[in-house]
Amino acid sequence: MPEGDTVFRTARTLHRALAGAQVTAFETRLPQLLSLPVRRGLPGREITSVEARGKHILIAFGQDLSLRTHLRMHGSWHLARPGERWRRPRAHMRIVITTADWLAIGFQIPEAEWLTASSLARHVVLQALGPDPLSPSFDAHEATARIASDSAATIADVLLNQRVIAGLGNVFKSEVLFECRVSPFDRVRDLEPETVAALVSSSARALRKNVSERPDGAGGRRTMTNRLNREETLWVYRRAGKPCHRCGSTIQMRKTGPDARSTYWCPSCQPSRTT
């Protein structure tokens, strides 16, 4: 599933291409978006903004109508010029928003809905999202408090909870825990408040670093280590059986949580605090 940095970069790219442009055509294969009044009224509307909220993308058509999409595991948004060859098969198309200069094509998007201004304001999922490190209004203290409130859970599971911190996924979970030398299997109640605060700070720093538009052209390649070698950009994620960059011990992997997500860690650098 794309993580917050990928979703943010996608929304930023869509915004730069589409904001201020008028819709000339709209096509979809998603039944929930087939409302005739909406489809017939969409051409001629101006796209005012595209923004990310955690792992959700909101495309605003004026002040009273937005399209919310969630990419889940396989969804993506691509841009193409009119007449240009698409980068994925047409059979994978779920949404096409056409303007004079661009086609915004949503491929294999499983979750999408129209939202009015009032339904957006009371949207159960969006309103329950935790603080988003990529938002200008990010509240680190609130994120820390939300982690602390789930004291019986393992810290790896808590970091994936979008109601705690929006945008973190499996990659950043493992990488941030490694950077802070915290075992993924420690219970929140076993962590010092300073450690929880450090995890929040590291999470925010990691997400922001990976959406920066770097002059070296590496902004689209996720990195945590600052190493130039493309094979060494992450500390532990997908490195099971390989030596730790920090101490040389063998990186481990275990399926954890209700969704059996892969967790990677170094047993030497991340000793458990649980007694």
Catalytic residue annotation: 2-3, 55
Separation CA 47–CA 79 (nearest Å): 15
79 class by beta-carbon count within 10 Å (0-12 exposed, 13-18 middle, 19+ buried): middle
Burial code of 240-261, b = ≥16 C-beta within 10 A, e = fewer?
A: eeeebbeeeeebbbeebbeeeb
Separation CA 182–CA 199 (nearest Å): 9
Sign of CA dihedral 10, 40, 112, 96: negative
15's enclosing H/E stretch is helix 4-18
Q: Are 47 and 101 in contact (CB under 8 A)?
A: no
76-80 vs 103-107, strand pairing mode: antiparallel
3-state secondary structure of 87: coil
- In degrees, rounded to 5, the angle at the alpha carbon of residue 25 between the alpha carbons of residues 19 and 26 is 90
Separation CA 159–CA 162 (nearest Å): 8
Separation CA 96–CA 91 (nearest Å): 12
Please state, in angstroms and as integers, the Cα–Cα distance from residue 72 to each residue in 33, 107, 145, following that order.
Answer: 18, 11, 27
R_g of the chain computed on alpha carbons: 20
